[in-house]
Structure 1
Amino acid sequence: MAFDKQRVLDSVQEVLAGVPIPGTPTNVIKAGCIQRVIARDGEVTVVVEFSKEISVHAEKIKEQLEQVVSAIDGVERVQILQKAPEKTDSPAPGGPSSVGAQEVPGVKHIVAVASGKGGVGKSTVAVNLAIQLRNLGFSVGLLDADVYGPSTPKMLGTEGSRPQATDRNTIVPLERFGIVTMSIGYLLEEDSPVIWRGPMVTGLLRQFLFQVEWGELDFLILDLPPGTGDAQLTLVQSVSLSGGVIVTTPQDVALLDVHRGIQMFSRVEVPIIGIVENMSVFHCPHCGEKTEIFSAGGGEAAANKFGTTLLGQIPLDPAYMRAGDDGTPSSVLDPSCELSRVMAGVGQQVAAAVGASPAS
């Protein structure tokens, strides 16, 4: 029998209304505890948020939620994701977060890949960086933290796969091309819009950081949401980062975007490993003529202006886009292509910057 998403969502709404808040006459829906319900292929994910007063009953409520949703016909698996509570006090500029940066158990180095705006190829860089670090002999994980437009499932060819929940209330990440990976995209239906409030983004990503069984990793690559807003800043404040890589394009206006990214990392004293310039130049496949479609020199100018390193320049080539769309990144599909060569160099520089060496 085909999975009837609408029927399941209606049933979830009905059974959740019957889950009470202990010691009160209300239920979890009226109390505003239910933030989002995602239903897909027999699995239901319920994202919850509890106020300070209700949080003392959190475990009991989550247990009840799992029980009633599991009983719905057609539901095979249930995940309850609890959003971290929103903080009322904002950290001072340049100061530590109120929570404090945390280590992810078993992970030696966390590197964030960021961009001042979307559409510059940040995810392409993050995915290929992860693969090239794996090629260097490191154990690598990739967290697609771009909850607004998760693209790594498509780029890795794992769109139809589903991570599994454990009885320890953790998630087992997927493995592809020798790297382990997690993304909100695995919990959403294809083409489903993702509408999150900033604090909710932070809470969900913290769960992906600390409740996913990453295992022992040399590197965890974070593909951050584009931009430099509160969600991005809070995320980089809450986890202990070894460094940040900023992705940009060649235009002069890229200086502004790079500046925003550098300011974000600087506020929390995260070292900037360097800049990757994407879409740097186009080589005509017929005549070989070089065309600088998006102007030239933006990445190098930004690196010089802000005293950091230009890690590499990736040319504009439709083949790289097709590789990502087909689910096999260029670093896997064609190790001899220019993107692979550039990103291999970027991987070496990232490893050197954090003082990492692969196990012999």
Structure 2
Amino acid sequence: MTDIADQLSAALNAIADPVSGKGLIDSGRAPAPRFTDGIASVILDVTDINADKRALIEADINRALGAIAGVEKVRVAMTSKRTTRRIIAVGSGKGGVGKSTLSANLAIALARRGLRIGLIDADIYGPSQPRLLSVEDRKPTATEHKKLVPVPTDFGIGMLSMGQLVKPGQAIAWRGPMAGKALGQLIDAEWGDTETLIIDLPPGTGDVQLTMVQKYKPAGAIIVSTPQDLALIDAKRAIHLFEEADVPIIGLVENMAGYECPACGAISNPFGTGGAEAAAEELGFDFLGRIPLDLGIRTASDEGIPPAASNGSGAGAFNAVAGKLTDWIGRSQ
């Protein structure tokens, strides 16, 4: 009996938790299996794991434990804790640094790792997520309590954007209080079992950012910058805002870092290189990675097919950042 129990535990722990990457027992997802009358029973905590990943893990457990001599049947009971929804803010000190592209690809990459992710386009005045995720023709509905219902995308995440609530191309000329109220409607929407919201913030440190840190305090913030000094100066202003609000800085991402000539393959750095990494080291924050200046990323984004969803150009860089964010989420739970 003891030998079978040890084999069951080893087999269960050999299956990786999709969030932390550790074994299911070591990660705290499951205690050691129970074995009685030929039946191996597993209690699995599926908090933060979406339905598709749950089914895959259950199949892995049935296959691994069912292969052990003496096991006649495997039972998997899934449980889920009710937790406060986690908010991850993606910010920058200035516009044009690729923050929205990073947010979209990061959300998709996290969902593909099994996390239940929602994406909010909080750039009230310049929303771009509907185009990036190819949902410009989809409008959110509302519940009987007048809560917005996120628009499903083709990439495993729900999304809400002010761009879905106004006519295409219509200017949004709102003062600060109206912008803050709009942010509240997006965050307080009917997000269902979504556990983590990625919020694509507008550039700068204005009313939307202040409303968020005061009323919807993020669990952490990612700062996006291009390598040049001017962008880094503005990025430090965004960092200062989050630090003043006691929001942890998860790390910095350097975008538009390196351009490969499609004709000769030579790498050039029109915006410089290494600036964000040096700033992260100077300020004592993690450096999460570089996203290249890549024509393929721009083309895919314009077509509404994010690289992270199709393993397209630049997908590896986005997935690397998502991996580090997944590790951070695992440590912060």
Q: Same fold (TM over 0.5)?
A: yes
Return the letter of the residue paired with 1:306.
Answer: L
Aligned to 1:72: none
Paired with 1:109 and 1:351, the residues of 2 have a C-alpha distance of 13
Return the letter of the residue paired with 1:182.
Answer: L
Paired with 1:248 and 1:142, the residues of 2 have a C-alpha distance of 20
Q: Which of residues 155, 158, 172 is equivalent to 1:194? A: 172
Aligned to 1:45: none
| Alpha-carbon offset, residue 347 of structure 1 | 1.1
Question: Are residues 146 and 107 of structure 1, via their aligned partners in 2, closer, same or farther at CA, if it must alter by over 3 Å?
Answer: farther
Superimposed CA distance per residue, residues 255-308 of structure 1 (whole angstroms, 9 cap, x where no aligned partner): 211211110100110000001111000001111000001112211121112111
Identity between Structure 1 and Structure 2 (%): 45
Aligned to 1:247: 224
- Are residue 345 (structure 1) and residue 320 (structure 2) matched? yes
Aligned to 1:39: none
Q: Structure 1 stretches of 5 or more lacking a match?
A: 1-104
Return the letter of the residue paired with 1:346.
Answer: V
Return the letter of the residue paired with 1:344.
Answer: N
Aligned to 1:263: 240
Aligned to 1:135: 112
Paired with 1:248 and 1:198, the residues of 2 have a C-alpha distance of 25
Aligned to 1:291: 268
| Alpha-carbon offset, residue 357 of structure 1 | 10
Aligned to 2:30: none
- Are residue 207 (structure 1) and residue 185 (structure 2) matched? yes
Superimposed CA distance per residue, residues 188-213 of structure 1 (whole angstroms, 9 cap, x where no aligned partner): 11111111111111111112111x11
Aligned to 2:138: 161
- Report if aligned partners of 2:122, 2:208 keep a CA contact under 8 Å in 1: no
RMSD: 1.7
Return the letter of the residue paired with 1:355.
Answer: G
Aligned to 2:69: none
Structure 2 counterparts to residues 106-145 of structure 1, below 5 A: 108-145=85-122
Structure 2 counterparts to residues 1-360 of structure 1, below 5 A: 108-176=85-153, 177-210=155-188, 212-333=189-310, 335=311, 337=313, 339-355=314-330
| Alpha-carbon offset, residue 231 of structure 1 | 2.9
| Alpha-carbon offset, residue 107 of structure 1 | 5.1
Aligned to 1:63: none
Paired with 2:137 and 2:85, the residues of 1 have a C-alpha distance of 30
- Report if aligned partners of 1:147, 1:194 keep a CA contact under 8 Å in 2: yes
Superimposed CA distance per residue, residues 59-88 of structure 1 (whole angstroms, 9 cap, x where no aligned partner): xxxxxxxxxxxxxxxxxxxxxxxxxxxxxx
Paired with 1:357 and 1:131, the residues of 2 have a C-alpha distance of 21
- Report if aligned partners of 2:86, 2:218 keep a CA contact under 8 Å in 1: yes
| Alpha-carbon offset, residue 355 of structure 1 | 2.1
Paired with 1:144 and 1:246, the residues of 2 have a C-alpha distance of 16
Aligned to 2:28: none
Return the letter of the residue paired with 1:142.
Answer: L
Paired with 1:258 and 1:308, the residues of 2 have a C-alpha distance of 13
Number of paired residues? 251
- Report if aligned partners of 1:155, 1:326 keep a CA contact under 8 Å in 2: yes
- Report if aligned partners of 1:243, 1:354 keep a CA contact under 8 Å in 2: no
| Alpha-carbon offset, residue 356 of structure 1 | 6.5
SS of aligned partner of 1:324? helix
Normalization by structure 2: what TM-score?
0.72
SS of aligned partner of 1:134? helix
Paired with 2:321 and 2:121, the residues of 1 have a C-alpha distance of 19
Paired with 1:228 and 1:305, the residues of 2 have a C-alpha distance of 22
- Report if aligned partners of 2:88, 2:219 keep a CA contact under 8 Å in 1: yes
Paired with 1:357 and 1:138, the residues of 2 have a C-alpha distance of 15
- Report if aligned partners of 2:300, 2:306 keep a CA contact under 8 Å in 1: yes
| Alpha-carbon offset, residue 349 of structure 1 | 1.2
Return the letter of the residue paired with 1:134.
Answer: A
Return the letter of the residue paired with 1:297.
Answer: G
Question: Are residues 115 and 277 of structure 1, via their aligned partners in 2, closer, same or farther at CA, if it must alter by over 3 Å?
Answer: same
| Alpha-carbon offset, residue 166 of structure 1 | 2.2
Paired with 2:119 and 2:240, the residues of 1 have a C-alpha distance of 24
| Alpha-carbon offset, residue 336 of structure 1 | 5.3
- Report if aligned partners of 1:121, 1:278 keep a CA contact under 8 Å in 2: yes
Aligned to 2:78: none
